[in-house]
Amino acid sequence: MDLTLNIWRQKDAKSKGRFVTYQLKNISQNCSFLEMLDILNEQLIMQNQEPVAFDHDCREGICGMCSLYINGRPHGPDDAVTTCQLHMRKFKDGDTIVVEPWRARPFPVIKDLLVDRTAFDKIIQDGGYISVNTGAAAEANNILVSKTSAELSMDAAACIGCGACVAACKNASAMLFVSAKVSNLALLPQGKIEAKSRVQKMVSKMDELGFGNCTNTYACEAECPKLISRSNIARLNREFFCAKIA
Amino acid sequence: MAELQAKIPNGPLAGKWTNYKDHQNLVNPTNKRKLDIVVVGTGLAGASAAASLAEMGFNVKIFCYQDSPRRAHSIAAQGGINAAKNYPNDGDSIYRLFYDTIKGGDYRSREANVYRLAEVSNNIIDQCVAQGVPFAREYSGSLENRSFGGALVSRTFFARGQTGQQLLLGAYGALSRQIKLGMVTMYNRHEMLDLVIVEGKARGIIARDLVTGKLERHFGHAVVMATGGYGNVFYLSTNAMGSNVSVCWQVFKKGAYFANPCFTQIHPTCIPVHGDYQSKLTLMSESLRNDGRIWVPKKKEDAEKHRKGQIKAKEISEDDRDYYLERRYPAYGNLVPRDVASRAAKERCDAGFGVGPTGLAVFLDFEGAIKRLGKHVIEERYGNLFQMYEKIVDENPYENPMMIYPAVHYAMGGTWVDYELMTTIPGLYALGEANFSDHGANRLGASALMQGLADGYFVLPYTIQNYLAGEIRVPRMSTDKPEFEDAEKNVRNRLEKLIGIKGSKSVDYFHKELGKIMWEYVGMGRNEQGLKKAIELIRALRKDFWKDVRITGSLEELNPELEKANRVADFLEMGELLALDALTRNESCGGHFREEYQTSEGECLRNDLDYMYVAAWEYLKDGEFELHKEPLKYEEIEVKQRIYK
Ligand SMILES: Cc1cc2nc3c(=O)[nH]c(=O)nc-3n(C[C@H](O)[C@H](O)[C@H](O)COP(=O)(O)OP(=O)(O)OC[C@H]3O[C@@H](n4cnc5c(N)ncnc54)[C@H](O)[C@@H]3O)c2cc1C
Ligand code: FES
């Protein structure tokens, strides 16, 4: 298929960006979206132009490194996939595709389609773990965990930290991301001990880093490539409330 | 020439590690604060090591090239992690895990290391559960296990098809906690470009800030590299796009030996290649072989019809299917080790029974399992893998069997280390997939996660003290020292040279060409003539690269093409060593299959008399390497032919 691409180009964090239009011919349906960008870049290099910079690594939908706002949707038109797992069969011959970086204040653009997501790491650093030193663990089967809790915890833990939820949210809220971590740990007996301080620290860090408030529109859930459920946000709110009154 | 001293402790096998720990040197708490450790890599091995070292009180600086430590390629591991807990009460033990790993590695790994690995495996599970890793559970609330290849017991712990992700998030949590406490400084989007040696000891690194392009110097009393595997020397592999051999190669050129480079693993169950624009291959976890059955048509006509799209798998009757693994290996069936399963698939496809548009695929069928257990059970066990398959191939694997083919997956070879995980450069340690130590010629499924975490949580934090205890009087060094300056200058020269070539071909062009050579001549089947040819072709390609590669942009900015070029330049040298090692090893064992050395049934023909050694290569100069042999001695177990029938 033949395509017109409108891609955001920006030299670095300080420069102003703009859209640039490119034409691509003969793209196979079975090509992934990033492989399509590889082909574009190969073309640009051959024309002695700078290739488009974008983040990616595993290319199998698990590392959370790829991003991209494609035709107005984080990770593009297909549901429940990351950009690296999006395939060109979701587009038609002659389509124009608009490609932008995540747009959210806490995720400044570094270059072209690459953004800085270290704010997510900072939130996790503020309590997104269980404080156990190496060697201090008890025999694994000493504390039983119900299958239901383990499964629910795993549902939340499937978050890949890509930032699509923030990019999708009109307030750039990180509630889905934070609530996924809070739930993952709060649902397990091992995580209960620090649950109160964890939720308070993580939420206040999120606010401090400039993420917006959650106004319950749930665009985050709709765009999450890993189908993280909004029920985690409800759980976070409960945990937060309990921590406050305790 | 450094001498090969594996430093294996004395005494009976089962007591060696305890014996070591009882007598090693330790560093006292006040002195720990005065010591800096550089850790390169934030995968399971690097993150677990950094967190543990920081908890003990050392100052740690840690590096990764991704934007976050949580994105290291360990995140992609799917199926599970082994441990000898024996929860299912099916006869497992530390000894059995040790034995299976040695046998699985085709008797080419070091006995004492493997025993230690099995010994600490149970602590890993305890640690991860305490960190909140949501492992699968039985209805009783206890931990659930499943089976992996090469074992007759169920000893694999898992978190759906995302075990690596969950384990890494556990280690990342522990690392994050130490970052918050100020014990670890994190350098993300940083790439190590050289090792700094001062008076014969590893004392730091040169790294490039990938955002600004600036070169930086970092001092450490010791340096730990946990930079993952080199499967991308084949271009197409299940590794991440950025996975590389560069750090192993940099230290190789500075004197660290490289061991068994030809021991590479081809994983039997991956989504087949479909186009030349393809950038990577996707693994379908080995755990699928618990419930999936592998087959090809019995009749060539059926295979041909399937290739032309004239029939569907389902239309081929039960009697006309060849479940070739169950036929050839009745004892292990679909759960034979990876090398065996991969070769068997190649054998069937080469004989004309392959399916799918290219004929380079076999079926992995869940029909029986779905009938037996119900679709919901299969969905619960493998849901994300089935979804991934469908997104890539555009076919529903609940309805039609998956089509799969072997692909490059894992590097058993790597930087040579002794029992303490120290390389031949004093003060330089290698962990995880980057080292060579525990998997011999073939790694069993679910053992890499175990090894990475064993190295990082439970081995290195002890052994590194034995070295650092002697360094407590060494003050932090200034990075203005000439050794740092020289190293930085060399790095700058190399990068400037690369950018200055301004040739006519892209970096990807060279990487793809190298991949073709490697897959063709150094892949699943190797022979003398092909290997010699590969070496010639690689040399020519390397020459062409340094004359004709085109890198746009400059050094002082974010420049992904430059990053790639630097890695491909190393692959172009390493590929040659890999082929040379394969050429030198005149036997077949594990993942290394030399066509000249096989039994009449097409199985590996090992030569224990002449090749029961670790091949440790020393770098002399460009394209010149010297072989050192570390003989392997088996005291506890009897070396046998590896039979899975
Ligand atoms: C798809 C897939 C599935 C797998 N499934 C399983 C499984 O089910 N069970 C199992 O046991 N094993 C599995 N494996 C193997 C296992 O995941 C890996 O061997 C293991 O995770 C490697 O961990 P590591 O810490 O050594 O390296 P990695 O996780 O690869 O980490 C390497 C680190 O080094 C950094 N790095 C690399 N080069 C540089 C540089 N130059 N400068 C700075 N930093 C650098 C990277 O940024 C990264 O942080 C799987 C592998 C793959 C590819
Ligand atoms: S590149 Fe890893 S999730 Fe897309």
| DSSP codes joined into one string, B326-389 | HHH-TTTGGGS-HHHHHHHHHHHIIIII--STTS--EEEE-HHHHHHH-HHHHHHHHHHHHHHH
For residue B274, what pLDDT is reported? 84
For residue B222, what pLDDT is reported? 98
Query: Could you tell me if the CB of A226 is within 6 A of ligand 2?
Result: no
Q: Are residues A88 and A149 located together in one domain of the fold?
A: no
For residue B148, what pLDDT is reported? 87
Contact check, Cβ <8 Å, B66/A57: yes
Residue B282 CA to ligand 1 center (angstroms) comes to 15
Contact check, Cβ <8 Å, B180/A81: no
Contact check, Cβ <8 Å, A58/B73: yes
E strands in chain A: 3-9, 18-24, 69-70, 73-74, 96-100, 109-111, 114-115
For residue B596, what pLDDT is reported? 97
- Among residues B334, B407, B347, B343, which one has the least CA distance to residue B644? B334
User: Is residue B585 helix, strand or coil?
Assistant: coil
Ordered by where they begin, the domains of chain B are 268-409 (3.90.700.10), 482-612 (1.20.58.100)
Contact B161, B79 (CB under 8 A): yes
For residue B206, what pLDDT is reported? 98
In a domain, A238, yes or no: yes
Chains A–B, number of C-beta pairs less than 8 Å apart: 218
For chain A, say whether B377 makes contact (Cβ under 8 Å).
Answer: no
φ/ψ of B227, rounded to 5, equals -100, 10
> Around Cβ A50, how many Cβ atoms within 10 Å?
18
In a domain, A102, yes or no: yes
Contact B52, B457 (CB under 8 A): yes
Question: A190-218 pLDDT, tens per residue?
Answer: 999 999 999 999 999 999 999 999 999 99
Question: B270-301 pLDDT, tens per residue?
Answer: 999 988 899 999 999 888 999 999 999 999 99
Q: What is the CATH number of the domain that holds A95?
A: 3.10.20.30
In a domain, A186, yes or no: yes
Contact B281, B271 (CB under 8 A): yes
Tell me which H or E stretch contains B619: strand B613-621
Contact B644, B339 (CB under 8 A): no
Using pLDDT thresholds of 50, 70 and 90, give the confidence band for residue B437.
confident
For residue B471, what pLDDT is reported? 98
Q: Are residues A103 and A45 located together in one domain of the fold?
A: yes
Q: Are residues A70 and A177 located together in one domain of the fold?
A: no
Write out the two tokens for B22. Answer: 């009882």
Query: Could you tell me if the CB of A59 is within 6 A of ligand 2?
Result: yes
Q: Least CB-CB distance to A65: which of B71, B176, B394?
A: B71
In a domain, A137, yes or no: no
Q: Are residues A123 and A237 located together in one domain of the fold?
A: yes
Q: Are residues A121 and A241 located together in one domain of the fold?
A: yes
> With a threshold of 0.80, does the pTM exceed it?
yes
Which ligand 2 atom sits closest to the C-alpha of A162?
Answer: 3
Question: B202-261 pLDDT, tens per residue?
Answer: 999 999 999 999 999 999 999 999 999 999 999 999 999 999 999 999 999 999 999 999
Residue A162 CA to ligand 2 center (angstroms) comes to 8
Assess whether pLDDT exceeds 60 at residue B383: yes
Contact A163, A117 (CB under 8 A): yes
| Closest chain A residue by Cα to residue B172 | A129
Q: Are residues A151 and A54 located together in one domain of the fold?
A: no
Assess whether pLDDT exceeds 80 at residue B1: no
Assess whether pLDDT exceeds 60 at residue B172: yes
In a domain, A68, yes or no: yes
Using pLDDT thresholds of 50, 70 and 90, give the confidence band for residue B3.
low
Tell me which H or E stretch contains B216: strand B215-219
Q: Are residues A99 and A183 located together in one domain of the fold?
A: no
Query: Could you tell me if the CB of B151 is within 6 A of ligand 1?
Result: no
Q: Are residues A83 and A199 located together in one domain of the fold?
A: no
Residues of chain A with pLDDT under 50: none
Q: Which residues of B touch A145 (CB under 8 A)?
A: 137, 141
For residue B170, what pLDDT is reported? 98
In a domain, A40, yes or no: yes
For residue A221, what pLDDT is reported? 97
Known catalytic residues of B are 338
Q: What is the ipTM of this complex?
A: 0.98
Contact check, Cβ <8 Å, A184/B134: yes
Assess whether pLDDT exceeds 90 at residue B2: no
- Among residues A82, A47, A92, which one has the least CA distance to residue A163? A82
Q: What is the CATH number of the domain that holds A150?
A: 1.10.1060.10
Q: Are residues A86 and A122 located together in one domain of the fold?
A: no
Contact check, Cβ <8 Å, B134/A50: no
Segment B438-467 shows an average pLDDT of: 97
For residue A246, what pLDDT is reported? 67
Using pLDDT thresholds of 50, 70 and 90, give the confidence band for residue B580.
very high
For residue B476, what pLDDT is reported? 97
For chain A, say whether B47 makes contact (Cβ under 8 Å).
Answer: no
Non-local (6+) Cβ contacts of B386 within 8 A are B378, B379, B397, B398
For residue B287, what pLDDT is reported? 87
φ/ψ of A80, rounded to 5, equals 55, 35
Residue B124 CA to ligand 2 center (angstroms) comes to 27
Which ligand 1 atom sits closest to the C-alpha of B229?
Answer: 30
Angle at B238 between CA B205 and CA B353, to 5 degrees: 150
For residue B380, what pLDDT is reported? 84
Q: Are residues A231 and A150 located together in one domain of the fold?
A: yes
The residue contributing the CA closest to ligand 1 atom 20 is: B74
Segment B118-139 shows an average pLDDT of: 98
Q: Are residues A74 and A179 located together in one domain of the fold?
A: no
Which ligand 2 atom sits closest to the C-alpha of A63?
Answer: 2
Distance of alpha carbon A109 from alpha carbon B417, whole angstroms? 41
How many residues are listed for chain B in this entry? 645
Question: B241-252 pLDDT, tens per residue?
Answer: 999 999 999 999
> Average pLDDT over chain B, rounded to whole?
96
Using pLDDT thresholds of 50, 70 and 90, give the confidence band for residue B645.
confident
Segment B322-335 shows an average pLDDT of: 95
Distance of alpha carbon A122 from alpha carbon A175, whole angstroms? 14
Per-residue CA distances from B28 to A44, B33, B181, B574, B604 (Å): 57, 9, 20, 41, 50
Q: Are residues A70 and A151 located together in one domain of the fold?
A: no
Question: B503-554 pLDDT, tens per residue?
Answer: 999 999 999 999 999 999 999 999 999 999 999 999 999 999 999 999 999 9
- Domain with A12 in it: 3-111
Q: Least CB-CB distance to B241: which of A44, A56, A146?
A: A56
Assess whether pLDDT exceeds 60 at residue B34: yes
User: Is residue B613 helix, strand or coil?
Assistant: strand
Structurally, chain A folds into a number of domains equal to: 2
For residue B275, what pLDDT is reported? 85
Contact check, Cβ <8 Å, A63/B391: no
Segment B390-400 shows an average pLDDT of: 93
- To which residue do tokens 């934070």 refer? A178
In a domain, A226, yes or no: yes
In chain B, % of residues over pLDDT 90:
93
In a domain, A163, yes or no: yes
